[in-house]
Amino acid sequence: MAADHPEHSTAGTYTVKGKEFTRDTRYITTRVTRDGRDGFPVEAGRYRLVAARACPWANRTIIVRRLLGLEDAISLGLPGPTHDERSWTFDLDPDGKDPVLGIDRLQDAYLRRDPEYSRGITVPALVDVTTGAVVTNDYAQITLDLSTEWVDHHREGAPDLYPEHLRAEIDEVNAVVFRDVNNGVYRCGFAGSQEAYERAYHRLFDALDLLEERLTTQRYLVGDTITEADVRLFTTLVRFDAVYHGHFKCNRTKLTEMPALWGYARDLFQTPGFGDTIDFAQIKQHYYVVHTDINPTQVVPVGPDLSGWVTPHGREELGGRPFGDGTAPGPVRDDERVDAAHTPLR
């Protein structure tokens, strides 16, 4: 991979500058808000969330949408797990077209927003169904806005994933988790030199060790309920042994060898709204097929054994109330169920 050459990952365009992985974070930052100050007011049925199950950044939005009960307010488009250099594609849908947007490539929705759009065609993307144009692909802000701007459309009993009195601590934890864990695994996997890789490797596992210590004595990352911080860490942890440990060379320790983090990840996986959004087959297909610079044969590993994800975790002993004063989401909609063969939740 040549220095400064643009490539694509599940979260957009990146470059390798001085052999160091650098993510392009120049997203479309238009927001959908209650007051519509950016020209896009909250309106049930107007927007479609395009979010591939394979992508950890998109997976966050699928989880939050489900926890908050926004399925009727915001429809969900699901591209397949692989894409080419141009765009994510809707190859899982009949005739290879999204049934609502009528397009076969997510790129089309970006070009409707900006005919000269030249950055990464990323998921998640919130698309205005009335125009077919992307409103935003700012994944970090999308989930926060689902919690704070879409309140009028939350289900009865929806949890508060971004409680006001904990926001400063959540933001602080999220910053560390993004830098050293969510993005840290990518810095390991796409490092352009031994030195860059080892720096990323040590930062990743130093952060995981701190999280292991933190989660040894508390059930969730911030406070005693599930918050945005848990959603953001979970989507990396659930992919760790299946992808990052081998494919991205994050191989000091498996998740299953870190007791607190493994118990924490299983606790969340078994919580409605988390594990029922995870498609391990699509996750592996995406990373091992798309990243041909890392895996030129495109051979997808058979393992690991997934049965451990549904074993008892014992985290209840630490207390905590998963949904606070709220309740668990109901059953997954029939048209949004993960293929039973792709998950240990059956």
- Distance, in Å, from the CA atom of 64 to the CA atom of 67, rounded to the nearest integer, reads 5
The CATH number given to whatever domain includes residue 313 is 1.20.1050.10
- Segments forming the whole domain that contains residue 249: 171-342
Query: CA-based diameter of the chain, in Å?
Result: 55
pLDDT at 85: 85
Between the alpha carbon of residue 209 and those of residues 127, 180, 182, 214, the distances in Å are: 39, 11, 15, 9
Contact 11, 55 (CB under 8 A): yes
Q: In the β-sheet with 47-50, what is the strand arrangement from edge to edge?
A: 75-77, 47-50, 125-128, 133-136
Q: What percent of the chain has pLDDT over 70?
A: 93
pLDDT digits (tens, 9 = 90+) for 85-116: 889 999 999 999 999 999 999 999 999 999 99
Please state the rounded mean pLDDT for residues 198-221. Answer: 98
For the record, the structure tokens of 131 come out as: 């125009």
**Residue 333 counted as domain residue:** yes
Catalytic residue positions, numbered: 55, 186
Is pLDDT above 90 for 3? no
**Residue 113 counted as domain residue:** no
Residue whose tokens read 């409103």? 135
Confidence at 11, pLDDT banded by 50, 70, 90: very low
Q: CB-based contacts of 302: which residues, under 8 Å, 6+ apart?
A: none
Specify the number of domains making up the chain: 1
For the record, the structure tokens of 98 come out as: 């999204």
Is pLDDT above 70 for 4? no
Is residue 309 marked as binding? no
**Residue 270 counted as domain residue:** yes
Contact 136, 28 (CB under 8 A): yes
- Distance, in Å, from the CA atom of 222 to the CA atom of 230, rounded to the nearest integer, reads 8
**Residue 160 counted as domain residue:** no
